[in-house]
Structure 1
């Protein structure tokens, strides 16, 4: 089926998912994809990995060999089209996501796509529209985007506290995103598009509103920064509701992987990321004892979040639903990051150009 046919509304209904197990193809088995294959095989129920696809055939064969019944399919589009595949997990490089996600929509197959949804806001919006057309025909949505922090128990606890009004109206959000080191090709623009993108989704998730403008400041760079790059960065988001979110992004600390989020509200504050439990302060009372332990990388810090994310994706796909951030969230993140990169380059406050959601849905 062609993209033109998709645009015209000629779309298949999602195939019935077997009651026993969801049969999944994993596209891309680098570090993230290989971790997901191992996780699906060893820790997630109701699922089987039936195929993997990767440009590096030898790597794909190694990953497949560890999973009984898993085979290697050279062409990722063929893996998506396979009648023995019920759903698809995409962990390929971002430049391939648009074609692969669209193929999943055209085939009526649930897809979990690691961020970014696509490489730019325009192509992400095209996927939003393609899925909207599918949903108008079938009543079902297919696309989940891999913003795993929403599934982290600490973030879930903080979100529940905010939703219950436990801090009153949230006013400010303070975030820190720190890595021990990054590879030599990692630019300041990538700090925004690959690192701060998670704080973009966190802000939208916690506050339930869009980001309207971005400002990026360049403090004095660490001597450990990639040559010619600004590190750390300070990023400021202004939301549509008048709230402010600041993000310290520092990717060459030499220490470890630190992610902290504090929400300051009218009636108190709450922080996560200090000791794997929420620390709340209100009326002079403080929460749990703080710890100095730091995870070595994101897989340790968010391992539990990935487990929860994949289990909920599998369970939802078997019900014909999605349970997590969708195509619009992937698009909104790209639109904010585009504004962030522009703000980084120009030194100016940059408005976020976001399509009208109601207009897109219609």
Structure 2
């Protein structure tokens, strides 16, 4: 069976996912495209999906009898409506983060999915599919004993003028929020954000860097440096400290050179390159599950918990206080 996929949102990530479905992955074909700028969808059709139909509205794409499953890659404010429409149509849907722009919106998705009694939503937290993170998780579980602390960093070379302080949580740290929960099989009970001295490279609307401090239900303490104008590259770091040892996330593969009296290796500058194979793996997993009519990977519940946790972190940014994180009862569907 070739899974027929409709892609809503043909910007950078929608284009990249269409390319990988058409040229890299197996078992699927992009048959439908939609974007609020129709010319973008037409351009993508011409370059990577010549047989795809272009729809003026995402809702019409979802309703099409020719579409088996949906990828939501549009702007975050539209995610909720498209995911709810896919659930109502009974179609598996892969949604890039965020699942919704508010925790209330994410809860509406969880409620709709739970009412139907079947997991149809997979959220694009690709780090769960990254080989390095999976190696780190196995090492923690098999060799480190009980985890005690996590030290981490999320660094970008630079961000645009429209990037503001809360985006360090909602757009950047959101990946760490899900990754830490998955690594530890644990949830958060509190969040705090502190601000070191501001870099001269940050514009006036963003406080940079930031340090997020989290505590989990099992007492693990986590610190994460968010530095989005670090200048030197895209750099993701994670160290787990356990009772029996310490393990670090492996560096991306790179050639070491000896040249002009220097020993060096390149550092990536683009997040798409850093997690390229993870993006491939998460979408292949989604495609492989569509014929069964359900999904795996990060769930709508994971998206909802990430939204609750990120809202608490933003409140911690704004108040300077330690903010309690309280989660509702998890529906049985996600057990």
Shorter chain as denominator, the TM-score bin is: over 0.9
Q: Give distance in 1, aligned partners of 2:250 and 2:92.
A: 32
Q: Distance in 1 between matches of 2:306 and 2:6?
A: 26
Partner of 2:314: 341
Q: Following the alignment from structure 2 to structure 1, what is the Cα–Cα distance between the partners of residues 251 and 135? A: 14
| 1:314 is the counterpart of 2:287 | yes
1:241 and 2:239 matched: no
Alignment of 1:29-68 (within 5 A): 29-66=10-47, 67-68=49-50
How far did 1:273 drift?
A: 4.4
Per the TM alignment, residue 353 of structure 1 is displaced from its structure 2 partner at its CA by 3.1
Once the 2 structures are TM-superposed, how far is the Cα of residue 269 of structure 1 from its aligned partner? 1.0
Residue 116 (structure 2) aligns with: 134
In the alignment, does 2:240 pair up with 1:263? yes
- CA distances 1:184-223 after superposition (whole Å, capped 9, x unpaired): 0111110011101111011101000111110000000000
* Number of residue-to-residue matches in the alignment: 326
Range with greater deviation from structure 2 (318-327 or 169-178) = 318-327
Which residue is 1:107 aligned to? 89
**Counterpart mapping for 1:176-187 below 5 A:** 176-187=153-164
Deviation at 1:330? 0.2
Q: Given the two structures, how large is their TM-score scaled by the length of structure 1?
A: 0.87
- Taking the aligned partners of 1:213 and 1:359, their CA distance within structure 2 comes to 25
User: What do residues 223-282 of structure 1 show as CA deviations (whole Å, max 9, x unaligned)?
Assistant: 0012142100000110011001110000001111101111111111111143449xxxxx
Determine the C-alpha separation between the residues in 2 that align with 1:192 and 1:48.
34
SS in 1 for 2:173: helix
2: distance between equivalents of 1:245 and 1:316? 34
CA gap 1:106/1:358 in 2 versus in 1, 3 angstroms: closer
Q: 2:61 aligns with which of 67, 79, 100?
A: 79
What is the rounded CA distance, in whole Å, between the counterparts of 1:337 and 1:38 in structure 2? 31
Mark the runs of 5 or more structure 1 residues left unpaired by the alignment: 1-19, 278-289
**Rounded Cα–Cα distance in structure 2 between residues aligned with 1:358 and 1:310:** 25
**TM-score, scaled relative to structure 2:** 0.94
Determine the structure 1 residue equivalent to 2:228.
251
Q: Residue 129 of structure 1 contacts residue 361 of structure 1 at CA under 8 Å; is this kept in 2?
A: no
Give how far 1:291 is off: 7.0
**Alignment of structure 1 residues 283-322 onto 2, 5 Å:** 292-322=265-295
Asked whether the equivalents of residues 111 and 143 of structure 1 are also in contact (C-alpha less than 8 Å), the reply is: yes
Separation of aligned partners in 2, 1:121 and 1:330: 9
Structure 2, unpaired ranges of 5+: 255-262
